[in-house]
Amino acid sequence: MDVLEDGHIESPKEVLQEVLEEHLGLQSTQNDKEDDEPPRPLVRTIQEAQQTLQVLIEFTEGSDDLQANHLRGLERLEAAIKAIKINSAVQSTLDRWIT
């Protein structure tokens, strides 16, 4: 747990939420209420997903409050994203070769 300057102690959930907001660029919902249009869903890149997963893995490794199965789950997700990246690179190469 982290102690902030004002003496507030952050729980692991609060720290995780801050990390996710920072790396995913989540915006406050207050701005959404002011707009008449529905918000457009963001399309994230594979690189953004890999970077965010790496931060989560580092957080999990440094946290005593999370279990090893959480880390294994994140590592499996990281491997799946790497496979998607490799497959999309192969498809891009094939597409260029065919055209």
d(CA 29, CA 26): 9
Residue pair 10/2 in contact (Cβ under 8 Å)? The answer is: yes
The 10s digit of each residue's pLDDT in 2-50 is 455 556 667 778 778 887 777 776 555 545 455 567 777 888 888 999 9
The contacts of residue 20 (CB under 8 Å, 6+ apart) are 26, 52
Question: How many CB atoms are located within 10 Å of the residue 60 CB?
Answer: 20
pLDDT at position 35 is: 56
Burial of 66 (0-12, 13-18, 19+ CB in 10 A): middle
Domain boundaries, the chain: 2-98
